[in-house]
Structure 1
Amino acid sequence: MITLLQFEKSDFPLFKSWIGSARELLQFAGPYFSFPLTDQQLEKYIRDPKRQIFKITDTATKEIIGHCELNFERHTPRLCRILIAKSSKRNRGYGKSTVNALLKLLFIDGNYDTADLNVYEWNSSAIRCYEGVGFRINENISSEVSIEDETWKSLNMQICKSEWKTNR
């Protein structure tokens, strides 16, 4: 259904075209980037050795439909910046396929036993997607970020290899 390919400099224009506002950038990327997104920010991003950054392609059509990342800055690897960019491709299983592909890289191809991610509490479709793969909300970890006149609460979700294998 999907294939993960390395995100490259040639992908910058398409990637930037997906982000139309500071709110969209914050929803997708958290506070890591600032709006408007620039090539300089993306150059720094792809040079970071603690990140594996991918474009998501539809295996059948070869169309680039999104973006995702594995982040190794902490002991527990984190799934980050998951975006199915084309609205016509959302709610069709691409998100779940992407999360499973990232977890396969960690749990099968790699030697990790746990992984986590952060998601804004109002993003119910993403939370359902992650729960469908086996992630559970970690009640002990949350954070907040401000955008315009709002405060967004970010929830932490975790999964272990055995839970993931059970849900496959």
Structure 2
Amino acid sequence: MPTAPLLVEAFSETHIPEMLDWFSTLEALVQWGGPGLSFPLEAAQIQAMLAGTKAVAPERSMFAGLVDGKLAGHAQVALDWPNGVGRLSRVAINPQMRGRGLAAPFLREVTKRFFTNPAFARLELNVYTFNEAAIRTYRSLGFREEGVRRSSAKVGDVRWDTAIYGLLRNEWN
């Protein structure tokens, strides 16, 4: 369990420098952010994501989990307004804080905040099938596996499968 209270707030520019060293390999970066990012992660890539939070109907929400004022977690929700669907993505716990039980409470709060908006009926996510710790966390929050996209990502010479999980508003406790 966390030793200090976990606070969740909107991710901002001030959090970016703390995150830049979280992904020490291309594989770690792709696991977090998908194959569209370039390694190493640079502030400009996160700033571009953050720009998507600024519109009246933003394309995404970004969250920061803080413990003792230090960035402990990051998550995003891409917002599909016409269909009332959010896609939880780019979830990471600070490598220096892993193993402290932060992921579930952080994502529970992100999910709670997402479902406070009545425009959204579904929250979904993609997770690489080898990421067993993340899958356990998502299942503990009520997400259900809905399928697997086999060989959906190529990282170097290796292909990864992606599992699709979903959670409906009426399933959220």
Q: Fold match, TM over 0.5?
A: yes
Alpha-carbon distance in structure 2 between the residues aligned to 1:18 and 1:99: 18
Alpha-carbon distance in structure 1 between the residues aligned to 2:36 and 2:62: 14
| 1:16 lines up with 2:25 in the alignment | no
Match of 1:86 in 2: 95
Alpha-carbon distance in structure 2 between the residues aligned to 1:106 and 1:40: 26
Alpha-carbon distance in structure 2 between the residues aligned to 1:65 and 1:106: 20
- 1:158 pairs, out of 158, 162, 166, with 166
The 5 A counterparts of 1:55-94 are: 55-58=64-67, 61-73=68-80, 75=83, 76-87=85-96, 89-94=97-102
Structure 2 gaps, min length 5? 53-57
Matched letter for residue 121 of structure 1: T
Q: State the percentage of identical aligned residues.
A: 26
Alpha-carbon distance in structure 1 between the residues aligned to 2:74 and 2:111: 15
Match of 1:44 in 2: 48
Conservation of the 8 A alpha-carbon contact between 2:33 and 2:90? yes
Matched letter for residue 2 of structure 1: L
User: Deviation at 1:162?
Assistant: 2.4
Conservation of the 8 A alpha-carbon contact between 1:79 and 1:102? no
- 4+ residue runs over 3 A deviation: none
More helix by share: 1
Q: How has the CA–CA distance of structure 1 residues 73 and 38 changed in structure 2, closer, same or farther, with 3 Å as cutoff? A: farther
Structure 1 gaps, min length 5? none
With 66-75 and 152-161 compared, the bigger mean Cα shift is at: 66-75
- SS at the partner of 2:145? strand
Conservation of the 8 A alpha-carbon contact between 1:66 and 1:86? no
Alpha-carbon distance in structure 1 between the residues aligned to 2:61 and 2:144: 23
Conservation of the 8 A alpha-carbon contact between 2:73 and 2:106? no
Aligned residues: 160
Alpha-carbon distance in structure 1 between the residues aligned to 2:128 and 2:26: 15
Matched letter for residue 69 of structure 2: K
RMSD of equivalent CA atoms: 1.7
| 1:31 lines up with 2:35 in the alignment | yes
- 1:127 pairs, out of 99, 118, 135, with 135
